[in-house]
Amino acid sequence: MADIPLASLSLTHVHYNPHDPLSFLSAWLALVPQALCVCYVTLIWASREVEVVLMFAGQLGCEALNFVLKRIVKEERPKQMLGKGYGMPSSHAQFMAYFAVYAGLFLIYRHSPALTHSGATLHFWVRVLLALVLCIGAGAVAVSRVYLNYHTPRQILAGCCAGVVCAFSWFFVTRLLRIHGWIDWTLDLEAVRFFRVRDLVVSEDLVEAGWQRWEAKRKLKRKGARDQMSSKSE
């Protein structure tokens, strides 16, 4: 066994300067796309929301495009970087740009829960703020790739542009799917119904709706307990 050469799993094998706090932070930022993939799968399994499925499908398509573009352009990474593979465009920057822009478009233009006028206005600006935070986070991940010498600024910019184009294009496609009834048609398929896929997050604040159902259940439980105590006292 000692003579068998070992290989390193490069999926999360990030080089950084251990004496530089920013380099250490950048190494952790490099793991954000992997963490988001875990979040995607978790949300799909837990919520069964078709909008999350659509967003993840676009994310996978964006990654497939990056794979093709890298092998067409065939531009090397910075000379001081010891990693393998092509660097144009940056897959991290493209991944995060797509995620931030598509999520932002959803929050601002597609997500419309039924609220009062004042509540809707506040909720809208909260969504705008969340979209801005997502864009800042995506920018931080992109900059970290330059700081770690995995990409040049040009490769990062190309990745961001590709991700933004993918996000807008896929958001437009999914809008057409909704307008022409393809989403509803898909949700009525027996195979899709078997997995209990639904489309609530567009028109409903799932946190608020879940909280209201919980409160109603708690009130019924308290009322039942009071009625039981009253019957015993009688």
- % the chain with pLDDT above 90: 48
pLDDT of residue 177: 93
More reliable by pLDDT, 5 or 117: 5
Q: What is the mean pLDDT of residues 59-73?
A: 93
Tell me: pLDDT of 179 over 80.
Answer: yes
Average pLDDT over residues 91-108: 93
Residue with tokens 């094998």: 13
The pLDDT value recorded for residue 231 is 67
Q: Residue 83: is its pLDDT beyond 60?
A: no
* Per-residue exposure over 34-67, b if at least 16 CB sit within 10 Å of its own CB, e if not: eebeeebeebbeebbbbbbbbbbebbeebbebbe
Per residue in 123-176, pLDDT tens?
778 888 999 999 999 999 999 998 888 888 999 999 999 999 999 999 999 999
Q: Which residue has the higher pLDDT, 132 or 8?
A: 132
> Residue 40 to residues 7, 58, 102: CA-CA distances in angstroms?
29, 12, 14
Question: What is the reported pLDDT for 190?
Answer: 92
Task: Look at residue 105 and give its three-state secondary structure.
Answer: helix
Give the per-residue pLDDT at 206.
Answer: 67
pLDDT higher than threshold 70 for residue 8? no
* Mean pLDDT on 51-61: 95
C-alpha distances in Å from residue 197, one per residue of 47, 208, 213: 8, 20, 20
Q: Which structure tokens are listed for 153? A: 């600024």
pLDDT band at 232; cut points 50, 70, 90: low
Proportion of the chain above pLDDT 70, given as a percent: 84
The model's confidence at residue 18, banded by pLDDT at 50, 70 and 90, is confident
- Of 86, 96, 101, residue with least CA distance to 30: 96
d(CA 98, CA 164): 5
Positive or negative, the CA dihedral 165, 171, 175, 181 is: positive
Residues 19, 193: Cα–Cα separation, whole Å: 53
Query: How far apart are the C-alpha atoms of 135 and 107, rounded to whole Å?
Result: 13
Contact present, 87 and 157 (Cβ < 8 Å): no
